[in-house]
Structure 1
Amino acid sequence: MPKRIQFSQTGGPDVLEYADFEPEAPKEGEVRIKNHAVGLNFIDIYFRTGLYPAPSMPSGLGTEGAGVVETVGEGVTEFKEGDRVAYALGPLGAYSEVHTLPVDKVVKLPEAVAFETAAGCMLKGLTVQYLLRQTYRVQKGDTILFHAAAGGVGSIACQWAKSIGVKLIGTVSSKEKADLAKKNGAWAVIDYTQENVVERVRELTKGDMVPVVYDSVGKDTWETSLDCLQKRGLMVSFGNASGSVEGVDVSILNQKGSLYLTRPSLAGYADTHKRLKQMAGELFEMIESGKIKIDVAQSYPLDKAGEAQAALADRKTTGSTVLLP
């Protein structure tokens, strides 16, 4: 019987159980995938802690992985057994040896992209795609601010921005992470433990500030992010690593310069299979061309998922982390 990570109550990493489970047979329009690698993301922690409610208990965990199609449900024509595939959305349950999900959440994986690479970049890479190419379509010569520039999303964003001539200012928490962000193509790096972010952005932009801030940290960086924006700039809040931004008086957007605010998600952009395939196609093209290299810096056995999540939450990781079933 295959194994998976599940949880029956919300809480810390200790609530995660490595257990046998009976995988669902694919229904009409579904495929069952034998996972070769599984992605680790902050959203998994949000479900484990209860910030995002799981639909039922006990619940599987995880939404990102890569592997081969094991069996297909009725009516499935786009995929067949043995196809290399990857996914980043769909029902919880990716932390498992096998996972069943709708075909409209799955894309074919080119031979040139390894399973570990895909599992380490689908959610993060597609997030960067919608952030830089859709939420605010950055242009050559733009200067932008991107928090957590040495993390999984940030590492990809640094490379993608550089490839199109965008000056990315990244924030980090250590010299080691600063070096990594620079290596990945950040134009400038601010160590927020040593420097004032707003003042440094003002210096780097010669007082102009930036037209867009990408913020996955949340509560701890909210005010700082707003203060780095130009008048009528866009605040893109796409994560809650330090906790949710709560109790916000929207009049602050007026006070700080008629600012715009959005809280996007991958599901909101990859909302059809056609869009998902287009976004994934652009991501895979960037990887195959060498413009983006995915740094799978950590890997853990599936049964050590709790340890992996703790390392991610404590900001002890760089790049991407994968679980190996």
Structure 2
Amino acid sequence: MSTDYAIRIHAYGGPEVMVCEPIEVPPPAPGEVQISQSAIGINYLDTYHRRGVFALPALPGGLGVEAAGRVVAVGEGVAHLAPGMRVSYACPPVGSYATLRNLPARHVLRVPDGVSDEQAAAVTLQGLTAHMLLRKVTRPQPGQTVLVHAAAGGLGSLLTQWANRLECRVIGVVGSAAKAEQARRQGCDAVIVGSEQPFVEAVRALTDGAGVDAVFEGLGGTVFQDCLRVVKPFGQVVNLGQVAEGLPSVALADLGPARSISVAVPGVFAYVRTHPDLQAAADELFGLVADGALKVHIGGRFALRQAAQAHEALQSRGTTGSLVLLP
């Protein structure tokens, strides 16, 4: 019998606190499925859990919220999934950095043959986030202009491609000239290298002072505040995280009525939890991936035991696309 492993932490801290340990996984409980995992998604959220920014339910504890693999067993009452099916997920409870795990079946998604396990592990969380942002939160229309920060990253790449497909004008913000070239290849109509010019002035120049209809940013702090300055009346600023600084307070008086700006801080796990047909959303996402309409760029592959190196690479902000662990 093969031994199963998981990455766990016994204290909060840097990448060095992650250790690979053998685990015992019981049979799935009623309503659960057991998944043998072949690819695991790495997300910046995982670093928050590792550092204790978002506390785990208990220590020692696992990391990760996304993976893909095959169902190997189902618990009582599970009818829509069966052993042998290829699946992925992006949801709590935390603990996807493992070779084998049990999960509630209601959040597990079927993966079509045209999407590889690596693609599914790299795209499920960020792809459902993009679906949430473009289908529920902002709903951009053809001809509108959107601004995407970190446009060469995993989520930024998907937002850029999808918004381009919706016939929007896409302006991307990236950190280097090399990332700018990638952002152009994936559909940005214009790219701003943030280290070379302030994005506020650049956006105003690119839009003849009119501004943009929507902004997607995940940095928080002063970047979020500056985004309020480049949005058209009745435009929207969407915060996706606080990689650089915390989320600042915003006075409602600063948003309107003269400026008429709205702000959204949506959470993908709320979307996963409340969507009336999550598989339909996943089917749309995976269909675009299978057709080549959404290209999933995997910027790094690491063995499960190399999770610490993967986190170091992610936090360096020098990576492009998505990172995956391979058990």
TM-score bucket of the superposed structures, by smaller chain: over 0.9
Report the equivalent of 1:299.
301
Distance change (3 Å), C-alpha of 1:250 and 1:274: closer
Secondary structure of 2:184's aligned partner: helix
Alpha-carbon distance, 1:170 to partner? 0.6
CA deviation profile, 1:147-178 (whole Å, cap 9, x unmatched):
10000001111111111211111100000000
8 Å Cα contact 2:107-2:272 kept in structure 1: no
Question: Do residues 14 (structure 1) and 16 (structure 2) align?
Answer: yes
Report the equivalent of 2:160.
158
8 Å Cα contact 2:147-2:214 kept in structure 1: yes
Of the three residues 86, 89, 113, the one matched with 2:88 is 86
Report the equivalent of 2:245.
243
Alpha-carbon distance, 1:252 to partner? 3.0
Secondary structure of 2:277's aligned partner: helix
Secondary structure of 1:271's aligned partner: helix
Which stretch has the larger CA shift, 147-156 or 222-231?
222-231
Report the equivalent of 1:63.
65
Question: Do residues 257 (structure 1) and 267 (structure 2) align?
Answer: no
Distance change (3 Å), C-alpha of 1:272 and 1:247: closer
Distance of 1:46 and 1:30 partners within structure 2: 27
| Runs of 4+ more than 4 Å apart | none
Alpha-carbon distance, 1:193 to partner? 0.5
Report the equivalent of 1:145.
147
Report the equivalent of 2:106.
104
Distance of 2:165 and 2:277 partners within structure 1: 22
Identical counterparts, % of pairs: 38
For structure 1, the 5+ residue unaligned runs are none
Equivalent position amino acid for 2:14 in 1: G
Secondary structure of 2:294's aligned partner: coil
CA deviation profile, 1:14-69 (whole Å, cap 9, x unmatched):
11111111123211100010000000001111111111111111111101000000
Alpha-carbon distance, 1:266 to partner? 0.8
Distance change (3 Å), C-alpha of 1:217 and 1:256: farther
Question: Do residues 194 (structure 1) and 196 (structure 2) align?
Answer: yes
Alpha-carbon distance, 1:282 to partner? 0.9
For structure 2, the 5+ residue unaligned runs are none
Report the equivalent of 2:219.
217
CA deviation profile, 1:216-236 (whole Å, cap 9, x unmatched):
122241122111111232111
- So what's the TM-score if we normalise by structure 1? 0.96
RMSD: 1.4
Report the equivalent of 1:290.
292
Alignment size in residue pairs: 325
8 Å Cα contact 1:66-1:85 kept in structure 2: yes
8 Å Cα contact 2:220-2:248 kept in structure 1: no
Distance of 2:280 and 2:158 partners within structure 1: 18
Report the equivalent of 2:36.
34
Distance of 1:251 and 1:6 partners within structure 2: 45
Report the equivalent of 2:182.
180
Alpha-carbon distance, 1:110 to partner? 0.3
Equivalent position amino acid for 1:19 in 2: E
Which stretch has the larger CA shift, 24-33 or 265-274?
265-274
